[in-house]
Amino acid sequence: MLAHALFAASIVASVLLQYHAAALLFLGATIVRLRLATRWDARELAAIALIAAFIAALAIVQLAILMGDPQFPGRRILGAMLGYPSVWSYIRFSEFTLGGCLLYLPVLGYVALRLAQGGRIPDHVALFVLCAWAPMLVMGVASWYPAPRYLFGILPFFLLCVVAGGQYLASELGQTGRRRGTIAIQAAMLVVLVNPLVLSQTVNPTYGRHPDHKGAAEFVRSLDLSPDDILVAEDVLQQTYYLGGVDYWLTPLAQARAFAMERDGQVVDRYTATPVLDSAEAFRTLLDTRGDRTVVVIGSGENFANGYRTLRDPEVAGILESDSVHMAHLGRDGRTSVWIAAPIN
């Protein structure tokens, strides 16, 4: 009855376009059904396959309907069909260790098979469920597109599970193949979990991967600026760290909304309390009213595509390329720039 209830729930979830939940329910139903079966005969497997085929056919029909709806262009169809909990928590976490995730999938598959055969869940899989999968599932309920920083705390537990899972698979190979299997799996885990290329790039970072925030700040400190002069930065957190503070944060309104708050009638960055210049008009007004003060604009070398900073308002980019300011410094990364607007005589 439990298996039948789970199969029915998976079909209902599929009808409601909740295929993530449907997949979990179907997997649970299959394990329960096979675990309680006296034997795995063709009729037993055919019944499960028939339910899977029905859900697959239903998914194809729903996909065809959604593809004809302009509200769901591109990959938004997948989001509409997978539903909640969001699978983005899994996807964002896999960016930390895609190799580790791929290594652990066969472990989970083998454990699911053993569980269906009446076996027990190994300790490392119980740890994975409690400390990795369950938090990601809950995160998917709380947020459709969770930030990676909220998932990073899961990583140490997951890596421990991957190592234990490799040892588990090696021991399951049998007494004769145990030694060779253990060595092969450990070697694979070493290469995948500790990617030599990524490790080398992390230990020896270059300006090809990291913007030259520090070099821009050093150049600004070398200028003979007075306390009345104005510092404007596109990366307010970085330049606040290096310079102790800046006067304005130059960023588009869409970017400012996510990290800003209103204080005393002024929009400021919520982390540094730096006032926001969220439009080209506000930036132009600052330049036009600078009087006898120098305005220094510290650009950012981050988020570049095809030679252009994607988070820079096109009109602001036009001002930076005009005669209103002149470029005084180009960072070692070839992207981070500093512009200066001299005082108006």
Which of 151, 171, 204 finishes a domain?
Answer: 204
Between these two residues, 167 and 180, which has the higher pLDDT value?
Answer: 167
What pLDDT is attached to residue 219? 93
Average pLDDT over residues 83-105: 84
Number of domains in the chain: 3
231 and 187 both lie in a single domain: no
Between these two residues, 174 and 137, which has the higher pLDDT value?
Answer: 137
Q: For 327, which DSSP code?
A: E
140 and 236 both lie in a single domain: no
Phi first, then psi, for residue 200 (nearest 5°) are: -65, -40
By the 8 A CB rule, do 108 and 125 touch?
yes
Tokens of 296: 């220094």
Give the number of residues written for the chain.
345
Which of 58, 83, 108 finishes a domain?
Answer: 83
318 and 218 both lie in a single domain: yes
Q: For 86, which DSSP code?
A: P
Q: In the chain, what percentage of residues exceed pLDDT 70?
A: 90
How many whole angstroms separate alpha carbon 7 and alpha carbon 263?
54
How many whole angstroms separate alpha carbon 149 and alpha carbon 312?
24
213 has a pLDDT exceeding 60: yes
pLDDT in tens, 37-88: 767 777 778 888 888 888 888 888 878 777 776 776 666 777 777 778 888 8
236 has a pLDDT exceeding 80: yes
104 and 144 both lie in a single domain: yes
Tokens of 62: 């729903």
298 and 220 both lie in a single domain: yes
What pLDDT is attached to residue 174? 61
Tokens of 319: 């001002």
222 and 334 both lie in a single domain: yes
252 closest CA partner among 236, 268, 272, 276: 276
How many whole angstroms separate alpha carbon 295 and alpha carbon 16?
57
176 and 237 both lie in a single domain: no
97 and 124 both lie in a single domain: yes
199 and 254 both lie in a single domain: no
What pLDDT is attached to residue 238? 92
143 and 165 both lie in a single domain: yes
How many whole angstroms separate alpha carbon 112 and alpha carbon 116?
6
By the 8 A CB rule, do 246 and 297 touch?
no
324 has a pLDDT exceeding 80: yes
239 has a pLDDT exceeding 90: yes
From 65-69, 87-91, 174-178, the region with the lowest mean pLDDT = 174-178
What pLDDT is attached to residue 248? 92
287 has a pLDDT exceeding 80: yes
Average pLDDT, the chain: 83
How many whole angstroms separate alpha carbon 138 and alpha carbon 133?
9
102 and 171 both lie in a single domain: yes
pLDDT in tens, 246-267: 999 998 888 888 888 888 888 8
pTM over 0.85: no
What pLDDT is attached to residue 181? 55
What pLDDT is attached to residue 176? 45
Which of 36, 56, 83 finishes a domain?
Answer: 83
Domain housing 223: 213-341
DSSP letter for each residue of 163-209: HHHHHHHHHHT-TTTHHHHHHHHHHHHHHHHT-HHHHHHHHS--TTT
